Amino acid sequence: MVKHVAGLGLVAVFVAAVTATSGTSAAATPENVPCGLFEVGTRLYFHHCGTTTVVLSVDRKPPSPDSELCVQPGAVVKLGNREDIVHVAYLGANCASTGR
């Protein structure tokens, strides 16, 4: 089951180009997953529906390291276990221009 997590207090959800819609879906494939942040079981994912490459910042509970990810248009990225993630932010920078 795919569940949107845009309403969670621990997660910042992104700009209009990558906003999530409400509802659920039976399977997690790029064709039918919601845009933005969503969860499958205990895992958080991000589906980038925009047209440019973007940077996401993922803050995790220690001892796991924080990270910044370049996400290509149309990509579905597994961020990790929901319990381990404190905050996700859309940085808005193009990866090529930031050297990532």
| Range 12-41 average pLDDT | 56
Mean pLDDT (the chain) is: 73
Range of the domain at 33: 2-98
| Range 12-31 average pLDDT | 39
pTM value is 0.66
| Residue type, position 64, single letter | S
| The predicted structure's pLDDT at residue 97 | 52
The span from the CA of 32 to the CA of 62, in Å, is 33
Let me know: does 1 contact 24? Beta carbons within 8 Å: yes
- State pLDDT tens for residues 59-96: 999 999 999 999 999 999 999 999 999 999 988 867 76
How many separate domains does the chain show? 1
